């Protein structure tokens, strides 16, 4: 078997990227020709390096055209500038880093975020020493602008809103939040990583979309992921700033060594041209009219999925979606993690969300345009999954395990203790040859994690990833 044959064999064990049935992690526009163009562009530029725009000017051209396209979508003023990053997390990291470094006078900087803000903001807090002040959202899962305004103070370098939030798919009241930030002279970042490329088209289709773009005064930067609803290959997001002065602290230059003067506007230095060219090729091929049509398709799918959930007595929509993300919860008749496993076993990958701040566990669906072709199948799979979950009964976590986990301080646990916990939780088992085996059904694991503290969830999953990520002796070694 040659390398490519082996690669395809390995890939067969992964989630499908195409087909519209994988409702997290991937986004499918459903056009095989567009996908082919994207793949060819990635391949053609896989060896090119966007580190130096004078050496690879074609990549600079493509980046500037992508920012220009996004600027129109986001109602940006003529002063807008932007950067192509590797993904939503990097765009958010840079927004936080830039905000921090715009205020060197503040010794202990903070940022005010809604409690529903993406975990990438907590990562940025961790990396850059900017404390995140997370403000509880309202009963509609939208940020509470008055509560956020009340905690903006002299240490605040950034205020954040989502359009929409990942977990619930609703748009925060951006106008009020940005006004509060502006009144305090503080930057306001809108995380439109998942909504930025689709909400402008939703508005053009006549759907109700509250204001969230640069048209809102006080919004200083916006992140939008092209590797989500621009249906581009993985590896790009855009970070736009209202003007060049706002972006300036993001640049890094170093002549403090004997090599080339390093000059970067992202966390990466060498940057593959592949994702940039792939994104440019897909955006150019689909074009504005194509995205409008795809938005029509994805919202048709969203509406049908909402109806299918409403028609299931065991399920309830957590909140009416503002965008393309649907979240449902279950009643006592069926377990949400079992419904998840049952949908997965029927070829529908959906994502479980653990209980958080008084809200019960839920199930997340990022709907794609390509999902629309399979809605009858989805409705049947959902009905069957609820029935199967009802018949399977509740997932019972052993009382001793619950008490054990509640009593443990994750910070004080040894590696050996984590080995024991991982085995007891079912997260990892050992197969006959001694290698780790992933669980086939996640419901028992999720039920256990659901009862654990946030610190214990994080520690257990870190230990899990640590055990997975170990050298092996395949053909590459
Ligand atoms: C996906 C997402 C991110 C993070 O993006 P990555 O590309 O996964 O790094 C941030 N915010 C929101 C709202 C998202 O949906």
160-191 b/e with 16+ CB inside 10 Å = b? Answer: bbbbbbbbbbbbbbbbbbbbbbbebebbbbbb
Please identify, by atom number, the ligand 1 atom nearest to the C-alpha of residue 225.
Answer: 7
- Check residue 154 and give its pLDDT: 98
Is 88 touching ligand 1 by the criterion CB < 6 Å?
A: yes
Bridge partners of 262, per DSSP, are: 254
Which value, to the nearest 10 degrees, does the dihedral of the CA atoms of residues 78, 84, 88, 92 take? -60
Does the beta carbon of 89 lie inside 6 Å of ligand 1?
A: yes
Indicate if ligand 1 lies below 6 Å from the C-beta of 87.
yes
How close is the Cα of 55 to the center of ligand 1, in Å?
Answer: 31
Q: For ligand 1, is residue 118 a contact (CB within 6 Å)?
A: yes
Burial class (CB in 10 A: 0-12, 13-18, 19+), 311: exposed
Residue nearest to atom 12 of ligand 1 (CA): 193
174 phi, psi to nearest 5 deg: -60, -40
Please give the helix or strand (H or E) that residue 32 lies within, else none: helix 32-44
Predicted local confidence at residue 476, as pLDDT: 58
Residue 473 CA to ligand 1 centre (angstroms): 33
Residue 442: the pLDDT is 92
Tell which one of 84, 94, 118 to mutate to probe ligand 1, the residue whose CB is within 8 A of the most ligand atoms: 118
* Residue 462 alpha carbon to ligand 1 centre in Å: 20
- Contact by Cβ (8 Å): 155, 56: no
Q: Is the CB of 410 under 6 A from ligand 1?
A: no
Q: How far is CA 30 from CA 23, 229, 305, in A?
A: 14, 12, 18
Least Cα distance to 336 among 291, 293, 392 occurs for: 392
Q: Residue 50 to residues 80, 87, 270, 280: CA-CA distances in angstroms? A: 21, 15, 7, 14
Nearest CA to ligand 1 atom 4: 88
CA 147 to ligand 1 center in whole angstroms: 24
Question: What pLDDT was estimated at residue 211?
Answer: 98
**Chain centre distance of CA 166:** 7
Instruction: State yes or no: cis peptide before 286, omega within 30 of 0.
Output: no
Predicted local confidence at residue 404, as pLDDT:
79
What are the tens digits of pLDDT across the range 148-204?
999 999 999 999 999 999 999 999 999 999 999 999 999 999 999 999 999 999 999
Q: Is the distance from the beta carbon of residue 27 to the nearest atom of ligand 1 less than 6 Å?
A: no
Cα 118 to averaged position of ligand 1 atoms, centre (Å): 7
Nearest CA to ligand 1 atom 6: 88
Transcribe 108-134 into DSSP letters: S-EEEEETTS-THHHHHHHHHT-EEEE
Q: Which residues does 170 contact at the CB level (< 8 Å), separation at least 6?
A: 140, 141, 142, 164, 319, 321, 322
3-state SS, residue 275? helix
Q: Is the CB of 225 under 6 A from ligand 1?
A: yes
The response to whether residue 199 sits with its C-beta less than 6 Å from ligand 1 reads no
**Mean pLDDT of residues grouped by 10 in the chain (477 residues)?**
95 95 98 98 98 97 98 98 98 98 98 98 98 98 98 98 98 98 98 98 98 98 98 98 98 98 97 98 98 98 98 97 98 97 98 96 98 98 98 89 83 87 78 72 91 92 91 72
Q: What is the pLDDT of residue 434?
A: 64
C-alpha 94 – ligand 1 centre gap (Å): 13
Can you give the pLDDT at residue 401? 80
Question: How far is the centre of ligand 1, averaged over its atoms, from the C-alpha of 11 (Å)?
Answer: 24
Whether the CB of 162 sits within 6 Å of ligand 1:
yes
Atom of ligand 1 nearest to the CA of 118: 11
What domains, with CATH codes, occur in the chain? 32-284 (3.40.640.10), 288-392 (3.90.1150.10), 399-468 (no CATH)
Residue 166 Cβ inside 6 Å of ligand 1? The answer reads yes
Strand partners, 345: none
Atom of ligand 1 nearest to the CA of 92: 10
For ligand 1, is residue 193 a contact (CB within 6 Å)?
A: yes
CA of 280 to the centre of ligand 1 (A): 20
140 closest CA partner among 169, 118, 161: 169
User: Is the full-model pTM beyond 0.95?
Assistant: yes
Q: How far is the CA of 163 from the centre of ligand 1 (A)?
A: 11
Residue 19 per-residue DSSP state: S
Of 122, 197, 225, the residue with max ligand 1 atoms within 8 A of its CB, to mutate for a pocket test, comes to 225
Distance 88 CA to ligand 1 centre (A): 4
Instruction: Determine the atom of ligand 1 nearest the C-alpha atom of 162.
Output: 13
- Residue with the smallest CA separation from ligand 1 atom 15 is 194
């Amino acid at each position: 078997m040659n390398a490519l044959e082996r690669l395809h064999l390995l890939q067969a064990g992964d989630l499908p990227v195409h087909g519209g049935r994988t409702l997290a992690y991937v986004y499918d526009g459903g056009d095989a020709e567009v996908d082919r163009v994207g793949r060819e562009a990635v391949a053609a530029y896989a060896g090119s390096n966007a580190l130096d725009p004078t050496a690879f000017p074609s990549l600079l051209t493509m980046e500037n055209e992508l920012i220009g396209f996004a600027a129109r979508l986001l109602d940006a003023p003529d002063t807008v500038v932007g950067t192509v990053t590797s993904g939503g997390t990097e765009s958010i990291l840079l927004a936080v880093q830039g905000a921090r470094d715009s205020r060197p006078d503040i010794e202990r900087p903070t940022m005010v975020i809604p409690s529903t803000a993406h975990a990438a903001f907590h990562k940025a807090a961790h990396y850059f020493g900017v404390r995140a002040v997370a403000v509880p959202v309202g009963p509609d899962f939208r940020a509470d602008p008055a509560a956020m305004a009340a905690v903006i103070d002299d240490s605040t370098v950034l205020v954040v809103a989502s359009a929409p939030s990942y977990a619930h798919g609703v748009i925060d009241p951006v106008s009020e939040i940005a006004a509060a930030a502006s009144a305090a002279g503080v930057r306001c970042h809108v995380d439109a990583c998942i909504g930025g490329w689709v909400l402008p088209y939703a508005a053009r289709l006549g759907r109700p979309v509250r204001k969230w773009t640069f048209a809102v005064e006080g919004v200083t930067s916006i992140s939008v992921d092209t590797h989500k609803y621009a249906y581009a290959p993985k590896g790009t997001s855009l970070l736009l700033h209202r003007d060049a002065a706002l972006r300036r602290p993001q640049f890094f230059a170093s002549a403090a060594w004997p090599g080339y003067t390093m000059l970067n506007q992202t966390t990466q230095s060498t940057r593959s041209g592949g994702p940039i060219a792939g994104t440019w090729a897909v955006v150019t091929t689909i074009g504005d009219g194509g995205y409008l049509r795809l938005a029509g398709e994805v919202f048709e799918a969203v509406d049908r999925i909402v109806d299918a959930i409403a028609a299931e007595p065991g399920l309830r929509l957590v909140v009416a979606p503002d965008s393309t993300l649907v979240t449902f919860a279950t009643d006592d008749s069926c377990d949400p993690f079992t419904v998840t496993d049952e949908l997965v076993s029927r070829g529908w990958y959906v994502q479980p969300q653990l209980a958080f701040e008084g809200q019960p566990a839920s199930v997340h669906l990022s709907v794609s345009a390509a999902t629309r072709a399979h809605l009858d199948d989805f409705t049947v799979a959902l009905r069957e999954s609820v029935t199967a979950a009802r018949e399977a009964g509740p997932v019972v976590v052993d009382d001793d395990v619950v008490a054990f986990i509640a009593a443990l301080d994750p910070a004080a646990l040894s590696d050996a203790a984590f080995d024991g916990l991982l085995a007891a939780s079912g997260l990892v088992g050992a197969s006959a040859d001694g290698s780790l085996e992933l669980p086939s059904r996640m419901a028992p694991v999720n039920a256990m994690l659901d009862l654990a503290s946030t610190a214990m969830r994080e520690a257990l999953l870190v230990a899990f990833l640590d055990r997975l990520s170990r050298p092996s002796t395949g053909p590459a070694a």
